[in-house]
């Protein structure tokens, strides 16, 4: 069976290569005779050479800005990058995100976990067209999105209220919208061992002045990934409608996805006190799932964005959306992990049914006003917003069986029951508040001042309600001595809702203040028109809970603190004729700076590496061909066992290679692509910040595609 699969892969690859060779020869012959039609390449003026980073992007309610004028580190990933790095459906979103130096992946084929400047995050923290909380933790298909905008550092001051927020930064996904040229595009793909995909992308503009746009995206993926006996089934459908007039802009997105992963479990917990040394990473293609292991996620969502001019300098805006995530056929080990028991790699875990559903609604109303005082130009934005969030979870305490096994020999399991529970009632959370931001242009400098305040209300299934409020300021400055350089600095703050002190403490039932993260950053940016580079130093301090002993009595307080300091360097653009590069480095010094755990005090925060980097290089020998390579490096990270023993997750480096070729079959433009992820089949552990987890990395994965513009 394995030989047949390998033969099939080689056959497809040879077919693509041979077609590319024949078409290349044909194109050369036609060029000699002057008969080759011009190939139309879509592009944006603000896209840097290499095509994977844009100079402009959205900065929340402030609006679209050139990255040189933004007082933050910001990377705006383009549609070409989404297609290139999101090719493999089993790792699409995180493979795109790791191109941003501040982001490190800790994902598997079922979860898209990652971190921003050491702060753990996943799709819960992502926004879609500015709307938060529409997706769950599960791996996210990316075929309906044309770009990803990443701001490093706390961003509540520019985006507003969100039920789930990462203090490390913000990620905004931009839906595909109709461009000036009509598109009817069909793409067929092959990935992993036998995963076949079919994608449709249709775009039209209509109306007297083509003021209306419609873009439809659909996909169907089914088959085995590069992991033995792991299967992915995925269906997506999205419609994006936009309308542009002289006085208004409207965008409406309706989306659906159904992703089901069968036989996939990659998380291992190494906190057991009997472990004194981290077991070496097993073969990456190993499968440890038990028979019947599944995780399905069905998501229905919409976003609405509208902006209306009331005068030359005044606009009102409305943003809203809703997402419903239904976790079905959800049979996994407890917390989707295995508990490793010893140095030999033996493990055990309970089998559980954990169905859940998450409902999230959002509404924002605001006004923008441009005003001038003397020579100072100002842009002011004020908004009020509200986020409704409700999660319903299965009975995770009900055992369904036991899985035992070894990292190097696999799993055995004892299946008790196939009865599946229902999602139980959960708490209802509401977040509401206001945001005010003003940016002033004063000569060569721009100064941004903002203030955000919101209240969090949490009502349990039993009807008990708790409330907490907090205020976060925003300060930012950009000074541009000339067109090439910018010096910037910012102070931002982020916070999570207050929490209720549980039993066992003298101050039980007290409501702790929201947990704040305060971030300061200073840096410099450079551009020469064909490239952008930035370098900054950041310092984040995050409040944390800590036990205190007062007169022999235990109290739970917010006197603890974790710190994250570091340097972030990024670059994108042209490095030579026909050559482009994109990537960067991050140094992160994390520390348990205030804690009553004497062992952890002063130590590096678990799961965080000090060094990481990504480098992309692309060569385009001619307009219709490109070859690229990517290197991803992640440094070693500590884990801590219950017996106060430090384990080390080793550093690792992976390489990806790819090529694209554009030609015509008869009169139909076709783009052939081939990508090899983890080309040297590196076996490695991924660490997850704030957890004692080792996640087994993905094995070498081949991806082939043929895209037809009909």
Write down the pLDDT at residue 28: 37
With respect to residue 238, please indicate whether it lies within any of the assigned structural domains.
yes
* pLDDT for res 299: 97
User: Is residue 11 in a domain?
Assistant: no
Q: Quick one: which of 706, 710, 709, 701 has its CA closest to 194?
A: 701
Kindly report the CATH number assigned to the domain that includes residue 335: 2.40.170.20
Domain annotation covers residue 540: no
Give the DSSP per-residue string, 525-584. Answer: EEE-SSEEEEEEEEEEEEEEEEEEEETTEEEEEEEEEEEEEEEEEEEEEEEETTEEEEEE
Q: Is residue 669 part of a domain?
A: yes
| Cβ neighbourhood burial of 464 (10 Å; 0-12, 13-18, 19+) | exposed
Q: Are 621 and 629 in contact (CB under 8 A)?
A: no
Q: For residues 126 and 362, what is the distance between their CA atoms, to the nearest angstrom?
A: 13
Provide the residue range defining the domain that includes 429.
37-498+603-709
pLDDT for res 329: 85
570, 98 contact by CB (below 8 A)? no
Three-state SS for 120? strand
Would you say residue 1 lies in a domain? no
What's the total number of domains in the chain? Answer: 1
Residue 208 within any structural domain of the chain: yes
| Main-chain dihedrals φ then ψ at residue 489, nearest 5 degrees | -155, 155
What's the confidence (pLDDT) of residue 398?
A: 62
Q: CB within 8 A of 233, min separation 6: which ones?
A: 221, 222, 258, 259, 260, 261, 262
Residue 575 belongs to a domain? no
| Site of tokens 């159904």 | 258
> Is 589 part of a structural domain of the chain?
no
Which pTM was predicted? 0.90
Rounded average pLDDT per 10-residue block, the chain, 710 residues: 39 37 35 34 72 93 94 95 89 93 92 92 93 92 95 84 88 96 96 95 95 98 95 96 96 97 93 97 94 91 97 96 92 90 95 86 97 95 95 69 91 69 80 95 96 89 84 95 97 82 77 84 96 97 82 80 96 95 97 90 96 97 95 97 96 97 95 97 96 95 96
To which residue do tokens 């599960």 refer? Answer: 138
> Would you state the pLDDT for residue 15?
38
């Amino acid at each position: 069976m394995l030989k047949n699969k390998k033969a099939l892969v080689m056959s497809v690859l040879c077919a693509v290569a041979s077609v590319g060779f024949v078409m290349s020869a044909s194109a050369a012959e036609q060029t000699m005779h002057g008969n080759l039609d011009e190939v139309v390449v879509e592009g944006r003026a603000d896209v840097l050479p290499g095509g994977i980073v844009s100079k402009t992007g959205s900065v929340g309610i402030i609006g679209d800005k050139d990255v040189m004028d933004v007082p933050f580190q910001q990377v705006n990933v383009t549609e070409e990058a989404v297609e290139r790095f999101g090719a493999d459906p089993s790792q699409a979103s995180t493979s795109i995100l790791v191109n941003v130096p501040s982001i490190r992946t800790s994902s598997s084929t079922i979860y898209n976990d990652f971190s921003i400047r050491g702060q753990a995050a996943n799709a819960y923290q992502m926004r879609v067209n500015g709307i938060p909380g529409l997706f769950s933790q599960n791996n996210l298909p990316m075929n309906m999105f044309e770009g990803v905008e990443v701001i490093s550092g706390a961003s509540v001051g520019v985006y507003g209220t969100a039920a789930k927020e990462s203090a490390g930064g913000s990620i905004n996904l931009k839906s595909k919208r109709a461009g000036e040229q009509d598109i009817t595009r069909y793409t067929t793909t092959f990935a992993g061992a036998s995963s076949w995909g079919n994608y449709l992308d249709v775009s039209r503009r209509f109306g007297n002045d083509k003021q209306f746009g419609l873009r439809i995206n659909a996909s169907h993926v089914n088959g085995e990934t590069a992991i033995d006996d792991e299967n992915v089934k995925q269906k997506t459908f999205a419609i994006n409608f936009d309308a542009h007039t002289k006085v208004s802009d409207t965008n409406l997105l309706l989306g659906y996805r159904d992703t089901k992963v069968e036989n996939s479990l990659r998380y291992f917990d190494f906190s057991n006190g009997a472990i004194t040394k981290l077991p070496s990473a097993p073969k990456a293609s190993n499968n440890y799932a038990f028979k019947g292991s599944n995780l399905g996620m069905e998501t229905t969502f919409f976003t609405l964005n509208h902006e209306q001019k009331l005068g030359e300098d005044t606009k009102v805006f409305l943003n809203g959306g809703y997402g419903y995530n239904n976790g079905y056929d959800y049979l996994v080990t407890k917390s989707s992990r295995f508990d490793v028991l010893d140095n030999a790699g033996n493990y055990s875990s309970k089998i559980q049914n954990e169905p859940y559903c998450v409902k999230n609604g959002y509404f924002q109303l605001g006004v923008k006003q441009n005003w001038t005082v003397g020579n100072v130009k100002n842009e002011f934005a004020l908004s009020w917003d509200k986020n409704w969030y409700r999660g319903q979870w299965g009975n995770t305490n009900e055992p369904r069986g036991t899985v035992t096994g070894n990292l190097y020999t696999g799993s055995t399991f004892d299946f008790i029951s196939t009865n599946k529970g229902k999602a139980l009632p959960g708490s209802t959370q509401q977040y509401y508040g206001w945001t005010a931001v003003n940016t002033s242009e004063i000569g060569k400098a721009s100064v941004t001042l903002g203030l955000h305040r919101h209240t969090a209300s949490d009502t349990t299934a039993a009807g008990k309600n708790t409330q907490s409020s907090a205020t976060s300021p925003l300060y930012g400055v950009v000074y541009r001595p000339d067109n090439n350089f910018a010096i910037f600095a910012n102070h931002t703050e982020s916070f999570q809702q207050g929490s209720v002190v549980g039993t066992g403490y003298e101050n039980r039932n007290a409501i702790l203040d929201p947990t704040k993260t305060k971030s300061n950053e200073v840096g410099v940016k450079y551009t020469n028109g064909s490239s952008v580079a930035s370098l900054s130093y950041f310092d984040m301090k995050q409040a944390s809970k800590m036990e205190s002993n007062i007169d022999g009595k235990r109290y739970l307080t917010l006197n603890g603190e974790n710190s994250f300091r570091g340097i972030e360097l990024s670059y994108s653009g042209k490095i030579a004729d026909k050559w482009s590069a994109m990537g960067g480095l991050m140094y992160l010094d994390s520390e348990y700076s205030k804690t009553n755990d004497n062992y952890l005090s002063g130590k590096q925060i678990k799961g965080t590496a000090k060094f990481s980097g990504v480098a992309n290089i692309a060569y385009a020998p001619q307009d219709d061909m490109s070859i690229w390579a990517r290197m991803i490096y992640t440094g070693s990270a500590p884990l801590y066992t219950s017996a106060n023993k430090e384990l080390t997750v080793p550093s690792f480096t992976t390489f990806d290679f790819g090529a694209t070729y554009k030609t015509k079959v008869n009169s139909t433009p076709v783009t052939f692509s081939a990508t090899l992820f983890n080309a040297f089949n590196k076996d490695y552990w991924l660490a997850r910040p704030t957890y004692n987890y080792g996640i087994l990395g993905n094995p070498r994965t081949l991806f082939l595609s043929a895209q037809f513009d009909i």
